[in-house]
Structure 1
Amino acid sequence: MFASTIENNVLELLPHVEFRGQITTVTTKSQVLFAVQYLSDQPVLGFDTETRPRFSSGRMYMPALLQLSDGNRAFLIHLKKTGLPPEIQAILSNPAIIKAGAAIKDDIAGLQRYASFEPAGFTDLQDMVREYGIVEKSVKKMSAIILGKRISKSQQITNWEAYPLSNAQAIYAATDAYVCYCIYNKLIAHSNEKKTPRQRMYEEILVSADSLLRDESDHVANMANVSALIKEKFNFWWVGFYRVDSKAKELILGPFQGPAACTRIPFGRGVCGTCWQQRKTIIVPDVEKFPGHIACSSRSRSEIVVPVFDRERNVRAVLDIDSEKINTFDQMDRQYLEELTGLFKNNY
């Protein structure tokens, strides 16, 4: 299973990846025809473009380089010399040839400034990785998560309109297309690890919550943000926290999203009090069938309550989520919500 994100300090420890296949520079008509003959036989191609960097607002440069790679060879097409020939357009319009790249919308728009063509067969890796619960979007981080390899971006802001390219530029450009090819194939090989939309939503919440809680020690602020993240993503009827008052043996209403709620809940009473007492997550498919259920709202039909532990495994609060529909929550919700509440232990 792929990680959803990766820290920069971890990424920097990964082995470097560099394209070591054959790099072919394309600047003439005959070279275009040779490249097209080879590329037309490949079912999948890594795709990328390079554009001269801008250091001020104003002029927009057209793409200078088009890179296509099948993993063994990489073709670097110098667009300033070749334009976008009909033979290359045919590849870009062929639905039978997968062209895998990242943020391809801008790349395609740039190429269409050379010639109008109908793009087909393109796969944006940024969209594809979401199905696996990966929230990172840069090729650098996608490579690290999926391939376990680090790519260099040292040549990114060099002049791509220069000819000939330096050896470092050629390797950099070829590597970008090659890595896109490898990422696509690795994801296809692991298609059984795709996440459901609900799982992806939880993955996104976890990343956001981890970022928000990491440097904030105030419990109320953290509970407020986590409640907002869940409510915004799922729009459950009610999302919030009850804080433990050990002396009064009560749960006291904390930050929440939704209508007014019960202010105090005794230890062992209702779903929240039972969760505190039993020190475990409780899933209630139908609240009307839960003995002793405290009806703060008649619109609540199903519920999940998750304990919030400190470092010593003391229950310090509970996360309560209510739905207007029965059977809303299952073990998948439990797994992600327990991981989410686990982020609080570093704050206590």
Structure 2
Amino acid sequence: MQSLTPNYNPQPSLDKDDINALPLITQEIPVELLTSANQARQALRHIANEPLLGFDTETRPAFRKGQSYLPSLIQLATRDCAYIFQISRYPIPAELLEILASPHHCKSGAGLSYDIRQLQQMRRFKPDNFTELGDIATQLGLRQTGLRSLCALIFGQRLSKGAQCSDWSRHHLTQVQIQYAATDAWVSRELYVAMEAMLRRINQHSS
């Protein structure tokens, strides 16, 4: 599928109104929704061959003080497909933990430390080769490092947050939820590719 086109000279920040005025990212991401451990293991055989993966999780929102939930979804995205592991329905497969702990698979995303801590409450694993997009953004001189802001700065498009506070623990996700979850992971990979290319350009010009 077609990649997003980056702006190699982004502004360091945009205000909220400017971001809201941008067009929405409208790519229909091909998705595999993995509702059982067997489906997950089959998908992981394909994912195991991918060196770069976009990563994200989704968690049921808590609206009461002191209330909290663990992640319901893990999303991994390749260039052409997003895989949604519905871990509210089955234990995290050992094969998925192997990828999260693998030095041979780069996992890129935003707000990674929190996501990883939450997953470690569900299954023990030692994370390896995770790349925080906010760290790359800081190296590029960008002052905003959240996923939505980075999409606006780098791609000039707006990431929808309409499903962010929906119930991710439900067994039957809506199509809006599925595309939202898929897009977050896919965009995380797209941003990594774009920003790493920007860093290389800067380093070439300075050498």
- TM-score for the superposition, normalised by structure 1: 0.54
Q: Which residue of 2 aligns with 1:345?
A: none
Shift in alpha-carbon separation, 1:121–1:194, aligned structure 2, 3 A: same
C-alpha deviation, 1:104, in angstroms = 0.3
- 8 A contact 1:63–1:111 mirrored in 2: yes
Rounded Cα–Cα distance in structure 2 between residues aligned with 1:19 and 1:119: 30
Given the alignment, which residue of 165, 179, 196 partners 1:188? 196
The 5-angstrom pairing of residues 86-97 of structure 1 reads 86-97=94-105
Superposition deviation, residue 57 in structure 1: 1.5
Q: Deviations over 1:218-259 (max 9, x none)?
A: xxxxxxxxxxxxxxxxxxxxxxxxxxxxxxxxxxxxxxxxxx
Q: Distance in 2 between matches of 1:105 and 1:194?
A: 27
1:98 aligned residue? 106
Alpha-carbon distance in 2 for matches of 1:19, 1:177:
13
Which secondary structure does the structure 2 equivalent of 1:81 belong to? coil
Alignment match, 2:3: none
CA RMSD of aligned residues (A): 1.4
Deviations 1:243-283 (A, max 9, x none): xxxxxxxxxxxxxxxxxxxxxxxxxxxxxxxxxxxxxxxxx
Pair 1:34 & 2:42 matched: yes
Alignment counterpart, residue 169 of structure 2, candidates 137, 161, 171: 161
Partner in structure 2 of residue 67 of structure 1? 75
Q: 1:21 deviation in Å?
A: 2.8
Instruction: Measure how far apart 1:194 and its partner are.
Output: 4.9
1:3 to 2:11 alignment: yes
Q: Which structure 1 segments of 5+ residues have no match?
A: 196-348
Aligned residue in 2 for 1:268: none
Query: Would you say the 8 A contact 1:102–1:125 is kept in 2?
Result: yes
Q: Which residue of 2 aligns with 1:84?
A: 92
1:47 to 41, 52, 55: 55
Q: Secondary structure at the match of 1:80?
A: coil
For the residues of structure 1 that align with 2:166 and 2:131, how far apart are their CA atoms?
27
* Residue pairs, 1:286-297, within 5 angstroms: none
Q: Distance in 2 between matches of 1:69 and 1:117?
A: 20
1:146 to 154, 160, 165: 154
Question: How many aligned residue pairs are there?
Answer: 195
Of Structure 1 and Structure 2, the greater strand share is in 1
Query: Which residues of structure 2 form unaligned runs of 5+?
Result: 1-8
Q: Is the 8 A contact 2:54 2:187 kept in 1?
A: yes
What letter matches 2:168 in structure 1?
Answer: W
Alpha-carbon distance between aligned partners in 1 of 2:22 and 2:68, rounded to the nearest angstrom: 35
More relative contact order, 1 or 2 (CA 8 Å, 6+ apart): 2
Give the distance between the partners of 2:167 and 2:98, measured in 1 at CA: 28
What's the secondary structure of 2:63's corresponding residue? Answer: coil
Structure 2 match to 1:218: none
Name the aligned partner's letter for residue 115 of structure 1: R
Q: Tell me how far 1:116 sits from its aligned partner.
A: 0.4
Q: Which amino acid aligns with 1:72?
A: D
Task: Give the distance between the partners of 1:186 and 1:141, measured in 2 at CA.
Answer: 14
